[in-house]
Structure 1
Amino acid sequence: MIELFDPTDLARAKDTGALVAGILQTLKSRSTVGTNLLDIDRWAKGMIIEAGAQSCYVDYEPPFGRGPFGHYICTSVNDAVLHGRPYDYTLADGDLLSLDLAVSQGGVVADSAISFIVGDVRSPESVALIDATERALSAGIAAAGPGAHLGDISHAIGSVLSEAGYLINTEFGGHGVGSTMHQDPHVPNKGRPGRGYKLRPGLLLALEPWIMADTAELVTDADGWTLRSATGCRTAHSEHTIAITDDGAEILTLPKQA
């Protein structure tokens, strides 16, 4: 199903996007050396409930997972890249942490992810991974707009990642959002320009480039959810929800400037 939203719906989507962005930035500021992943999940739960919103993850039970996810946020550390299920782990100096949050408010979902380094130890590999996903995300957004094709977005994202030397896995990628978290169309992180669904005003998309340092192969953790690099290498993940408008693409999950 592909949903298209009118201006009233878009206003609600902006509110949800602002909530997601604000929660992620608060969690980033609290995620310091010594922070436990379960505390991050608890903080996310509290902020979502306080806002009168709903988690998209707690009862999430897709075919590829093992039972309901059961947590409020995805916390992926180092070699974990997607669907990181929070567990009893204390963050260490230099850890690369990805936080992925999807929330429904007012009947509209927004989905966003950030990757950052915890503490003061900043390995060049971690910095490069994060930079590549952020640049790829910016390129994908720049390629989006009314009349463009999904392939234009996929090509823009994939070109940045490939030019940076990374292999691209196309099993998981971006997707439509709306009244539910995962909708059509699927937006792979690699593609051919001019191909695929033609973008129309009112379409909401979650674009999410993610990479692993030296592989494109994933393995599933024992928890049945967390996806890790097959080689144990580090990973990164960046995501924004955007709205296709008459003039281009508007980022709904952009953090407010201080």
Structure 2
Amino acid sequence: MFRKNEPAVQIKTPAEISRMREAGKVVARTLDALRAAVEPGMSTLDLDAIAEARIRDAGAVPSFKGYYGFTGSICASVNDEVVHGIPRADKVLAEGDIISIDCGAVLDGWHGDSAVTMPVGTPRAQDLRLMEVCEESMWRGIAELRPGNHLGDIGAAIDGSMRSAGRFGNVQEYGGHGIGTEMHMDPHVLNYGKRGKGQELVEGMCLAIEPMANAGTRHVVQLEDGWTVVTRDAERSAHFEHSVAITAEGPLVLTAREENRERIARLGFPDPGFQ
């Protein structure tokens, strides 16, 4: 099925994809709860406690907690923090901040993984634009998840979308990934690339698509805590992610939230079910 230099990728049956959607629903509902809870004065550790409770109440387990020693159930990245922010009691949200929350859950052995960026209090116009650009690039990438396309098509769509929106930095050091019985699996999914290049996409692949857009340059640096990634120029960053299954009918968004219903219908993607 694949050329010798391509990694073996876990292919899911329709029944297994349905089980992944159930894990995705846990993540989706947790992110909805966090969006409703975010307000000035909360710490990122407060949000982490809400997330862990929601995940465990659903009969699932947080994917992130204990992952290579990570202490949180979510990644909570504020303002110039791009990804992998560690929830902390002393990281208190203020009016005008933005926060990216990455959430993962494993249910009956199957993983869901999704991220959103949201304002704290009244948003600034430039932050809304940054989030819009990042989320749109994610959807453009997801639209390429069809049998016969290639990994390079995903990256080209994401990068092209971001470039067409203006002077935003497309982070290249981090990207998406395969997902299934593990949170991070082959293949790695770059957020840039060339059309027609890279591994061919086939029905049954499940990929997490997650662009990161910076208000300034694309360059980032990891802090001494070994996790938190920040923009090198201290400009703000946004991060969006969905886990998606490749089906004959098109991209099935496994972590779809109710607020995604209209967009998924407009794009002509299969209905993931919102019950």
TM range (shorter): over 0.9
1:159: which partner in 2? 160
Residue 212 (structure 2) pairs with residue 205 (structure 1)? no
CA contact (8 A) 2:117 2:131 kept: yes
| 1:206-250 per-position Cα deviation (integer Å, ceiling 9, x unaligned) | 000101111222122232211000111100001001000011111
Residue 33 (structure 2) pairs with residue 32 (structure 1)? no
CA contact (8 A) 2:170 2:211 kept: no
2:121: which partner in 1? 119
**Cα distance in 2, alignment partners of residues 214 and 80 from structure 1:** 13
1:250: which partner in 2? 252
1:148: which partner in 2? 149
2:195: which partner in 1? 193
State the shift of 1:75 in Å.
0.3
1:65: which partner in 2? none
Secondary structure, aligned partner of 1:109: strand
**Cα distance in 2, alignment partners of residues 234 and 10 from structure 1:** 35
State the shift of 1:168 in Å.
2.3
CA contact (8 A) 1:146 1:247 kept: no
2:139: which partner in 1? 138
State the shift of 1:48 in Å.
1.4
Secondary structure, aligned partner of 2:111: strand
| 1:162-189 per-position Cα deviation (integer Å, ceiling 9, x unaligned) | 1222232321101100101111111111
Percentage of matched positions with identical amino acids: 38
**Cα distance in 1, alignment partners of residues 35 and 125 from structure 2:** 20
State the shift of 1:35 in Å.
1.2
2:80: which partner in 1? 79
Secondary structure, aligned partner of 1:184: strand
| Aligned-CA RMSD value | 1.2
2:271: which partner in 1? none
**Cα distance in 2, alignment partners of residues 33 and 55 from structure 1:** 25
Give unmatched runs, 5+ long, in structure 2: 1-7, 262-275
CA contact (8 A) 1:98 1:113 kept: yes
Secondary structure, aligned partner of 1:196: coil
| Count of residue pairs brought into register by the alignment | 251
**Cα distance in 2, alignment partners of residues 78 and 169 from structure 1:** 15
CA contact (8 A) 2:169 2:219 kept: no
State the shift of 1:127 in Å.
1.1
Secondary structure, aligned partner of 2:40: coil
**Cα distance in 2, alignment partners of residues 19 and 167 from structure 1:** 31
**Cα distance in 2, alignment partners of residues 240 and 112 from structure 1:** 5
Tell me which of the two structures has the higher relative contact order, counting C-alpha pairs closer than 8 angstroms and 6 or more residues apart: 1
State the shift of 1:102 in Å.
1.2
State the shift of 1:256 in Å.
2.1
Give unmatched runs, 5+ long, in structure 1: 62-67
State the shift of 1:84 in Å.
0.7
Secondary structure, aligned partner of 2:221: strand
The amino acid of 1:128's aligned partner reads R
The amino acid of 1:75's aligned partner reads A
The amino acid of 1:81's aligned partner reads V
1:64: which partner in 2? none
Normalising by structure 2, what TM-score?
Answer: 0.88
**Cα distance in 1, alignment partners of residues 251 and 195 from structure 2:** 17
**Cα distance in 1, alignment partners of residues 47 and 257 from structure 2:** 19
| 1:142-165 per-position Cα deviation (integer Å, ceiling 9, x unaligned) | 121111111111100010111222
**Cα distance in 1, alignment partners of residues 162 and 184 from structure 2:** 24
**Cα distance in 2, alignment partners of residues 169 and 46 from structure 1:** 32
